[in-house]
Amino acid sequence: MTTGNGQLDLPYLRAKLTDRRGQLYWRSLEELAETDAFQEFLYREFPQQSDRWTDPIGRRRFLHLMGASLALAGLAGCTKQPAEPIMPYVNAPEEIIPGKPLFFATAALLSGVAEGVLVENHMGRPTKVEGNPEHPASLGATDVFAQASILTLYDPDRSQTITQFGEIRSWSAFLSEMREAVQRFKQNKGSGLRILTETVTSPTLASQLKKLLSDYPSAKWHQYEPVGRDPARAGARLAFGTDVAARYHLEKANVVLSLDADFLSTGPGKLRYVRDFTARRKVHQSQREMNRLYVLESTPSNTGAMADHRLPLKASEVEGFALALAAELGIAWRVEIPAKLPGSTWVGPLARDLKRHPAATIVIPGEHQPPLVHALAHAMNHTLGNVGSTVIYTEPVEANPVDQFESLRELVREMQSGSVETLLIFGGNPVFAAPVDIPFADALAKVKQRVYLGLYNDETSELCHWHIPEAHSLESWTDARAYDGTVTILQPLIAPLYGGKTAHELMAALTDQSEQSSYEGVRQYWSSQFTRIPVMVSGARSSSAVCQKASGDFEEFWRKSLHDGFVANSALPAKPVALTAQPAVLRTDATTPGLELIFRPDPHVYDGQFANNGWLQELPKPHTRLTWDNAALISPATAERMGMTNEELVELRFQGRRVEAPAWILPGHPDDSVTIHLGYGRRRTGRVGMGAGFNAYAVRTSGAAWFGSGLSLSKTGRRSRLACTQHHHSMEGRHPVRAGTLEDYHRHPDFVREMGEEPPKDLSLYPERKYKGNAWGMVIDLSSCTGCNACTIACQAENNIAVVGREQVIIGREMHWIRVDRYYAGGLENPATYHQPIPCMQCENAPCEVVCPVNATAHSQEGLNDMVYNRCVGTRYCANNCPYKVRRFNFLLYSDWETPSLKLGRNPDVTVRSRGVMEKCTYCVQRINAVKIEAEREGREIRDGEIATACEAVCPAEAITFGNINDPNSRVAQLKANKLNYGLLSELQTRPRTTYLAALKNPNPEMKTS
């Protein structure tokens, strides 16, 4: 099974894989190999991680567990409840009906770019984020960060007081100090005043900054963001000589080529792109054809998982490939094709396929690829006639695009020279996230007056004199642009919990009107600007008419913009651009030998700003399914060569710097390169994120911001355990994911059904149930699911699901009600990847129901498996007997019953589960009941789509459909009638209400699939 010192015997694995007949699925390498780790654990009687006492959480909780368990005993029935007070309003606000949520439109920000959202608000407490269906960047979906922002808002670890040198100070004290400073600036024209922001798209903030710079001409504004878009900007300048942003219309594209671009899960437009892209893959609807996606990638991504053809390449090799392809397509420029060309077999067929669809293809360059790749992509899109149809260029959405590394370097240079007296840092965490070759932290010591506006008491606040708690975006008035430039005016959902301030208020403090609130600031700006909104060229939205009228009346404009969640027609218009004659360098050095290191923002912790968010920390990362940690991802072959195994600590030496990281073997990862994720290894943050993972910034230089060669690996011989939520790989010939090609489907549509067996309905001892009225059901489309995990975290937010912590995840006790399983098919080097979301199947013959001794889980009249927490005694028999293993047990008191701020954020319509209770997905029964009552009162039927479960609502791919299967016209009923529809483990006669649509791929017949 495994060779001597516990290292994976990959040839053996390959053999094991190849001699399997049919499509073979497998998950992680451990169990395929039955590594020593297993044997080890087998013979150890007391594995340390199974002992609660070595677990800090366990210890910390012991006392209040005692309290809680006694309290629970109190709930046991025969005791009477204590008298509770009711406190009515003194003056009731009209719009609030107690117990009914209100929804307000605002936006979630990531890297300063807006994503329109609607926030559910219970009696003044925001509890849940939903997408804004009207907003172009959201269309009703959100990403995991927007979902988790609720938790950050209520995070008890956020900094809560203004401090100076660690002493608590008042806002007025700060203002008075600023006033002195302002006097100084007035005399010296603000020389020595520097402002460091993240990427700014906020028109208001931008104008405030510009005004400041005009008042104090010698002041300077710098921008730095660890996950910036510098290469894209440079690429645009290289191709067009001017700074433009590309926007894609995937709904029009028949063929899409990604040059190491993970456009489905990163970048500001991702939600819209996923929607448009997957719309072209749903063959079950009226359309019979699919788009085709080619992906070259340097590290496995969700985009790669969706690909019909995927080619793993070292990051540095993409350039060469792009050159070759560009030449093949015959772009206007003269290019040099490198002698040694990886993936050369692709060039011919790919070029032909692209040419076959004039003006209906897209070449998307990876954000982290060098400018040349971007330039070539632009050129190719031109040659393919895509510009204007599938690709349009606009002004950049950033208020003031700069090369951010340059900007930071310049700032640091000045700081070192001592010419910076006052430095205001607006958000971000530069001390932690600055590249190592730019010594920001050291230089900071030379600044006389340092002010830091930030959410957390972090690495940067530590080195600043003043730390002003920042208001969370759900607490503040501000504005921001979406990926297409559409402006959203953000309105606060709640008054700042911890007295946070916004950048606008800080800016005001630097002027004479230092008391100006951010509300006034934003309003003031728009009252002067709202008439000058650029009118969209393409596809003016219905609301445009209104806007024209609005251009007269500000109040109406203001109210409408707040209500809709965006400023109508504020999207940036297309901008005509022309390719430059011939860029200087159109060649690349032959691919560098040796190991390459790749940096990526962490899929869930991002650049580190979400490190203290338990929901995101515990969300299993795509592909690796790791939680609470980052790791050094390497390909099986490389691991084999280096003799490395999972969880083994390796030392990465990169360009003279070193960091230690646990290795994780990731199938499909290109050989000779290692991927590490940014954002971990926080030295100073809240209780949640402290000490998780390793700090990838420690080896990141501005020169090699995204990848670079010259990496060397060495084993340390030590191991560190990683909390992975899925260990197994092999379907053992089973077919939970049924997959095929579009060709199969057209030729023989029944192939899906034939992959499993459906026993006759009457094959049950129990009498057949009749479902009068509604019968709820769900369909999940595996061709559309990108595995973005949004459903998991949306469910967590909606249903008050607890975070259990690293130690508990390691033992396998995570609580997610809907998990996303990941299966591989094919070889180790370049497997096809499938994602399969698994909620409760709500079986009609539910194995869980018959075995519960106390009736705590019972069948509802509408076919749900109701789970009654207050009835459950926790025998765990139901979980044992559930073939899908979707039931989750509160082995310890996981829900936080103490922290007041967290209580505010909970969904009041869902019970907070206590210790010793089983829980599971209920199809968001609280939402079902709410709508049912509404409909009953109005004496009407429930409309199809009126009820959206949390997972359905959040899904950008519209992969999840929920509805009444008794209504033949409902979307869900029609999908279930489709030939691609199949029930998971239907051979067990459980008759699941949740079913799946088989995953279809659309490979190019010219290229034989890997």
Partner 1 sequence: MPQIFHRSTNTFSKLSIFGAVFVIAGLLIVVMAINRSGYVTQAGVTREQPVPFSHQHHVAAMGIDCRYCHTTVENAAVASIPPTKTCMNCHSQIWSASPTLEPVRASFRADQSIRWTKVHDLPDFAYFNHSIHVNKGIGCSTCHGRVDRMPLVWQHASLQMEWCLDCHRHPERYVRPRDQVFNMEYEAPANQLILGKRLIQEYKIQSLTSCSTCHR
Partner 2 sequence: METNQPSKTLTLEADTAPIIEPGHTFGSVTDKISSVVLARKTPRGWYVGFGIGFVLVMVLAQTLANLLFVGTGTWGVTNPVGWGFDIINFVWWIGIGHAGTLISAILLLLRQEWRTSINRFAEAMTLFAVACAAMYPLFHTGRPWLAIYWLFPYPNTMGIWPQFRSPLIWDVFAVSTYGTVSLLFWFVGLIPDLATLRDRTRKRIPRFLYGMLAMGWRGSARHWNRYETAYLLLAGLSTPLVLSVHTIVSLDFAVGIIPGWHATIFPPYFVAGAIYAGFAMVLILAIPIRAFYGLEDFITMRHLENMAKIILVTGLIVAYGYMMEAFFGWYSANPYESYMILNRMKGPYAWMYWALLFCNAVTPQVFWFKSMRTSITALFTVSVIVSIGMWFERFIIVVTSLHRDFLPSSWGMYYPTRWDFGMFLGTIGLFVSLLFLFLRFLPMISIFEMRTILPQAEVKETGSPH
In the complex with partner 1, which residue's Cβ is closer, 374 or 906? 906
Q: How far is the CB of 38 from partner 2 (least distance, A)?
A: 5
Distance of CA 761 to the CA centre of its chain: 41
In the complex with partner 1, which residue's Cβ is closer, 100 or 683? 100
The interface partner of residue 85, options being partner 2, partner 1, none and the CB cut-off 5 to 8 Å by kind, is: partner 1
The interface partner of residue 581, options being partner 1, partner 2, none and the CB cut-off 5 to 8 Å by kind, is: none
Pairing of strands 832-838, 819-825: antiparallel
The interface partner of residue 578, options being partner 1, partner 2, none and the CB cut-off 5 to 8 Å by kind, is: none
In the complex with partner 2, which residue's Cβ is closer, 129 or 737? 737
Contacts by 34-39 with C-beta closer than 8 Å and gap 24+? 34/1, 34/2, 35/1, 35/2, 35/6, 35/8, 35/645, 36/2, 36/6, 37/6, 37/645, 37/647
**10 Å Cβ neighbour count for 718?**
11
Q: For the sheet with 309-312, list strands across it.
A: 309-312, 292-297, 255-259, 361-365
Give the contacts of 309 (CB within 8 A, at least 6 positions apart): 292, 293, 294, 295, 346, 1003, 1004, 1007, 1009, 1010
Q: b/e string for 87-96 if b means 16 or more Cβ within 10 A? A: eeeeeeeeee
The interface partner of residue 922, options being partner 2, partner 1, none and the CB cut-off 5 to 8 Å by kind, is: partner 1
**10 Å Cβ neighbour count for 123?**
15
In the complex with partner 2, which residue's Cβ is closer, 182 or 731? 731
In the complex with partner 1, which residue's Cβ is closer, 94 or 757? 94
| Bridge partner residues of 310 (DSSP) | 295
Please provide the DSSP assignment of 286-355 as one string.
S-----EEEEEESS--HHHHH-SEEEE--TTHHHHHHHHHHHHHT-SS--PPPSS-TTHHHHHHHHHHHH
Residues at the contact surface with partner 1, assessed by CB under 8 A: 75, 78, 80-81, 83-92, 97-100, 773, 858-862, 864, 866-871, 909-911, 922, 925-926, 928-929, 933, 936-937, 939
Quote the CA–CA distance of 166 and 98 in Å, as a whole number: 41
The interface partner of residue 92, options being partner 2, partner 1, none and the CB cut-off 5 to 8 Å by kind, is: partner 1
The interface partner of residue 240, options being partner 2, partner 1, none and the CB cut-off 5 to 8 Å by kind, is: none
CA end-to-end span of the chain: 26
In the complex with partner 2, which residue's Cβ is closer, 51 or 1006? 51
The interface partner of residue 585, options being partner 1, partner 2, none and the CB cut-off 5 to 8 Å by kind, is: none
Q: How far is the CB of 81 from partner 2 (least distance, A)?
A: 14
In the complex with partner 2, which residue's Cβ is closer, 688 or 838? 838
The interface partner of residue 883, options being partner 1, partner 2, none and the CB cut-off 5 to 8 Å by kind, is: partner 2
The interface partner of residue 869, options being partner 2, partner 1, none and the CB cut-off 5 to 8 Å by kind, is: partner 1
In the complex with partner 2, which residue's Cβ is closer, 22 or 1005? 22
Q: What angle do CA 1000, 1006, 1010 make, to 5 degrees?
A: 60
Give the contacts of 534 (CB within 8 A, at least 6 positions apart): 569, 570, 571, 572, 573
The interface partner of residue 939, options being partner 1, partner 2, none and the CB cut-off 5 to 8 Å by kind, is: partner 1
Quote the CA–CA distance of 482 and 118 in Å, as a whole number: 15
Contact between 396 and 245 under an 8 Å Cβ cutoff? The reply is yes
Contact between 632 and 674 under an 8 Å Cβ cutoff? The reply is yes
| Bridge partner residues of 423 (DSSP) | 194, 450
| Bridge partner residues of 981 (DSSP) | 997
Q: How far is the CB of 790 from partner 1 (least distance, A)?
A: 23
Contact between 352 and 329 under an 8 Å Cβ cutoff? The reply is no
In the complex with partner 2, which residue's Cβ is closer, 811 or 1007? 811
CA distances (Å), origin 667, targets 94, 661, 663, 823, 831: 58, 18, 13, 11, 7
In the complex with partner 1, which residue's Cβ is closer, 717 or 939? 939
The interface partner of residue 717, options being partner 2, partner 1, none and the CB cut-off 5 to 8 Å by kind, is: none
Residue with tokens 């590594």: 35
In the complex with partner 1, which residue's Cβ is closer, 807 or 909? 909
Q: How far is the CB of 830 from partner 2 (least distance, A)?
A: 21
Q: How far is the CB of 858 from partner 1 (least distance, A)?
A: 5
Pairing of strands 466-469, 478-481: unpaired
Q: How far is the CB of 817 from partner 1 (least distance, A)?
A: 13
The interface partner of residue 210, options being partner 2, partner 1, none and the CB cut-off 5 to 8 Å by kind, is: none
In the complex with partner 1, which residue's Cβ is closer, 90 or 581? 90
The interface partner of residue 540, options being partner 2, partner 1, none and the CB cut-off 5 to 8 Å by kind, is: none
Q: How far is the CB of 124 from partner 1 (least distance, A)?
A: 14
Q: Sign (positive/negative) of CA torsion 126, 128, 133, 136?
A: positive
Q: How far is the CB of 310 from partner 2 (least distance, A)?
A: 22
In the complex with partner 2, which residue's Cβ is closer, 72 or 1007? 72
The interface partner of residue 727, options being partner 1, partner 2, none and the CB cut-off 5 to 8 Å by kind, is: partner 2
Q: How far is the CB of 866 from partner 1 (least distance, A)?
A: 4
Q: Sign (positive/negative) of CA torsion 589, 590, 595, 599?
A: positive
Q: How far is the CB of 972 from partner 2 (least distance, A)?
A: 23
Quote the CA–CA distance of 923 and 794 in Å, as a whole number: 13
Contact between 993 and 778 under an 8 Å Cβ cutoff? The reply is yes
Q: How far is the CB of 877 from partner 2 (least distance, A)?
A: 6
The interface partner of residue 42, options being partner 2, partner 1, none and the CB cut-off 5 to 8 Å by kind, is: partner 2
Contact between 236 and 430 under an 8 Å Cβ cutoff? The reply is no
> What are phi and psi for residue 926, nearest 5 degrees?
-65, -35
Q: How far is the CB of 130 from partner 1 (least distance, A)?
A: 19
Helix axes 230-240, 371-383, angle to 10 degrees: 50
In the complex with partner 1, which residue's Cβ is closer, 767 or 939? 939
> What are phi and psi for residue 97, nearest 5 degrees?
-105, 115
Q: How far is the CB of 922 from partner 1 (least distance, A)?
A: 7
In the complex with partner 2, which residue's Cβ is closer, 25 or 566? 25
Quote the CA–CA distance of 999 and 982 in Å, as a whole number: 11
Contact between 964 and 775 under an 8 Å Cβ cutoff? The reply is yes
Quote the CA–CA distance of 747 and 753 in Å, as a whole number: 14
* Among the listed residues 542, 697, 577, the one whose alpha carbon sits nearest the alpha carbon of residue 244: 577
Residue with tokens 């979707």: 886
Q: How far is the CB of 883 from partner 2 (least distance, A)?
A: 4
Distance of CA 272 to the CA centre of its chain: 14
The interface partner of residue 499, options being partner 1, partner 2, none and the CB cut-off 5 to 8 Å by kind, is: none
Q: How far is the CB of 130 from partner 2 (least distance, A)?
A: 28
Q: How far is the CB of 95 from partner 1 (least distance, A)?
A: 12
In the complex with partner 2, which residue's Cβ is closer, 39 or 218? 39
The interface partner of residue 877, options being partner 2, partner 1, none and the CB cut-off 5 to 8 Å by kind, is: partner 2
Q: How far is the CB of 482 from partner 2 (least distance, A)?
A: 36
In the complex with partner 1, which residue's Cβ is closer, 97 or 332? 97
